[in-house]
Structure 1
């Protein structure tokens, strides 16, 4: 993929879309890697007892999966110099099958003097936004 050129970017331009599938095996792998073994991420009964719709994906897993679109677009994961989100809804992951994240990245702002672009991410599951104010600052 060709690295984007700052002068070619316009606010509102969609720079990419991606679908990310999360299954229960991904949650287990992430729990092992992150050390987050909270039972809401693997125990259906426990998750429902605490008021969730069932087992949910780790917020940081969802956040990380979404930003890979920006890293790939930028051509270098190190180009993302800041990234933040608000967790707006849990991502239920069915026992069989997958939760499907729909990710769209749009140019939110361009600072030619600083050599940066703010990329705004829209991340939804079944049409419902699961990350709010998801923004990555990219140095090009």
Structure 2
């Protein structure tokens, strides 16, 4: 694993592929978040709302993006997160999380992040600002 401090613009963090979304994932998330909207847990309610089936909470997908940065928490932290939801996540979907370094000014790094489904369709896109605790050491 490359250290965050060694990254240059254009480098990407290692992709993370989540296991297929399960009903129990969404039930657990509903309990943890307090979001008990039945479109996330009950098939009939999702269908009444015009959906083909239950959908994952958008915030479940967004929260999983933090996993990209977990290996680097000794070097820095997520300071800002801005996300646009682009598509729905359904039961059985396999989501891949991605982050590419787009800008770096001293110890402040800006990543483009996205989550895509197994068909390559984006379900979420956004930006993460990740400052390092220590300034980067210049290499000669």
**TM bucket normalised to smaller:** 0.7 to 0.9
Map of 1:136 onto structure 2: 128
Q: Aligned pair 1:105/2:99, yes or no?
A: yes
* Structure 1 residue 4: Cα displacement: 1.8
Cα pair 2:13 2:68 within 8 Å, conserved: no
CA RMSD of aligned residues (A): 1.8
Unaligned 5+ segments in structure 2 are 133-140
Cα deviation digits, residues 18-56 of structure 1 (max 9, x gap): 001221111011101111000100111111221222100
Count of aligned positions: 130
CA distance in 2: counterparts of 1:118 and 1:42, whole angstroms: 35
Structure 1 residues 76 and 47, CA, compared in 2 at 3 Å: closer, same or farther?
Answer: farther
Map of 1:45 onto structure 2: 44
Larger radius of gyration: 2
Hey, which of these two has a bigger chunk of strand by percent? 1
1:82 to 40, 56, 80: 80
Cα pair 1:9 1:110 within 8 Å, conserved: no
Structure 1 residues 104 and 64, CA, compared in 2 at 3 Å: closer, same or farther?
Answer: same
What's the TM-score, normalizing by structure 1? 0.84
CA distance in 1: counterparts of 2:67 and 2:75, whole angstroms: 8
What's the TM-score, normalizing by structure 2? 0.84
CA distance in 1: counterparts of 2:65 and 2:114, whole angstroms: 9
Q: Which has the higher contact order (CA 8 A, sep 6+)?
A: 1
